[in-house]
Amino acid sequence: MNKCMPAIETKSDLTDSFSRTISYLRLSLTDRCNLRCVYCMPEDREEGLQLLAHDDLLSYEELLRIVNVAVKMGMNKLRLTGGEPLVRKGVMAFIRSLSEIKGLEEIRLTTNGVLLEEKAAGLYASGIRKLNISLDTMRPERFRKITGMDMFQKVWQGIEAAEKLGFAIKLNVVAMNGFNDDEFIDFARLALHRNYQVRFIEFMPVGKNSTWDKRYYIASEKLQEMFSEVGTLDPLPGRRMDGPAKVYQITGSDGSTGSIGFISPISHHFCDTCNRLRLTSAGRLRACLLHDREADLKTMLRSGATDDDVRSLIRQTILDKPKGHTLVEDLKSSDKHPCGGQMSRIGG
């Protein structure tokens, strides 16, 4: 060998074409849900909703195989989503199996909280310590209007049960002008007085039959302006395992402090630091929430793929990850829809 020749440089399996390290996998365990939220379901909520048959979902064995391959590649963070992940039969045993995978540093769960009171202890025993809980209103009647179900008290009891067990809790609030904008101040005060990080998420146009309308959209900057009557916001430094939220410490006039986050995919997209892939409940690997390109991992698995084949597909999906979404540009075009996928299938 010619010792003067430079060594051939190789990229990490988890590095994409824009030098981002993809270390975080989100699994949508099911597209089924026990709520019918206006921003997630099609406009008619029932007739426009096409649910997967059980055999169309990846089995737990298939999911464990994929996660094992991904972790061996270097992925170390996993989030379970849906639909509502806790409605899937056998989910608790599956989570216990996930917790035994060496190299998987953290498993997080996103839930609507309906089943949380009865499942919280089991989740904690399985090693989960961090929960994201969707809660767009603290008013029971409005909760019914937004979700289609009269379950506010059940959700709140689940949140309190999780808090007592010691979970770190993030409350996800989809910010919708004309729906819940008169409660943003109340949520900011909640962050001051309870040990929850409250995160405000800009309303996104996901799904061809979604209820998204620019009249309902409110930018994160406008929310931040509202909080001046509650306290001051000071940005907190990002951490390695953080998600897309820009997080602030809020300090009230009485000296109390809390944590508030803003997820701003439209006004300030976070594509440059995106570190995640999504596996949809239909078994398709997706590199971007707001970009419809997907790789059919389920068909590959059921056609006799080896672990090396799975690894290659994950690697190619990482290389194909777009630099960023084109949401703002697409919204200006009447003949283009930014994301045609079904949110409950992609995973929120």
Residue with the two structure tokens 């808090």: 163
Using the predicted structure, report yes or no on whether residue 156 has a pLDDT greater than 80: yes
**Secondary structure E strands in the chain:** 24-28, 77-81, 106-111, 130-134, 168-175, 196-202, 231-235, 246-252, 257-263, 276-279, 284-286, 294-296
DSSP, residue by residue, 270-322? -GGG--EEEE-TTSEEES-TT---EEEHHHHHTTT--HHHHHHHHHHHHHT--
Describe the strand order of the beta sheet including 294-296 as a list of residue ranges.
231-235, 246-252, 257-263, 196-202, 168-175, 130-134, 106-111, 77-81, 24-28, 276-279, 284-286, 294-296
pLDDT band at 203 (very low <50, low <70, confident <90, very high): confident
In the chain, the percentage of residues whose pLDDT exceeds 90 is: 71
CB < 8 Å & 24+ apart, contacts of 41-44: 41/148, 41/344, 42/207, 42/209, 42/210, 42/342, 43/209, 43/210, 43/211, 44/209
Cα separation, 52 vs 55, whole angstroms: 8
Question: In the predicted model, is pLDDT for residue 42 greater than 60?
Answer: no
Q: Flag whether pLDDT at 101 surpasses 80.
A: yes
What's the confidence (pLDDT) of residue 244?
81
Token couple for 27: 């699994």
Residues with Cβ within 8 Å of residue 254, at least 6 apart in sequence = none
What is the pLDDT averaged over residues 260-278? 85
pLDDT in tens, 54-95: 999 999 999 999 999 999 999 999 999 999 999 999 999 999
Q: What pLDDT score does 242 carry? A: 57
At 95, is the secondary structure helix, strand, or coil?
helix
Kindly report the pTM of this predicted structure: 0.88
Show the domains of the chain with their CATH numbers. Answer: 24-346 (3.20.20.70)
What tens digit of pLDDT does each residue of 276-297 get?
999 999 999 999 887 788 999 9
Q: What share of the chain is helix, strand, coil (3-state, %, to 5)?
A: 30, 20, 50
Residue 68: exposure state from Cβ atoms within 10 A (0-12, 13-18, ≥19): middle
Distance CA(17)–CA(35), nearest Å, equals 38
Under a CB-based contact definition with an 8 Å cutoff, are residues 89 and 63 in contact?
no
pLDDT tens readout for residues 161-184: 999 999 999 999 999 999 999 999
The per-residue pLDDT for 237 is 87
| Ordered DSSP codes for 201-233 | EE----STT----TTT---HHHHHHHGGGTEEE
Label residue 137 by pLDDT band (50, 70, 90).
very high
Does residue 205 register a pLDDT over 80? no
Give me 157's structure tokens.
């009891």
The closest alpha carbon to 281, from 235, 209, 343, belongs to 343
pLDDT at 327: 59
Distance CA 57, CA 53 (A): 7
Q: Is the pLDDT of residue 47 over 80?
A: no
- Residue identified by tokens 């995978």 is 101
Q: What is the pLDDT of residue 208?
A: 56
> What whole-number percentage of the chain has pLDDT above 70?
83
Q: pLDDT value at position 255?
A: 95
pLDDT for the residue numbered 2 = 41
Overall size of the chain counted in residues? 348
For the cut 70, the answer to whether the pLDDT of residue 339 exceeds it is no
Instruction: Give me the mean pLDDT over the 125-148 stretch.
Output: 97
What's the Rg (C-alpha) of the chain? 20
Per DSSP, the three-state class of 73 is helix
CA 172 to chain centre: 10
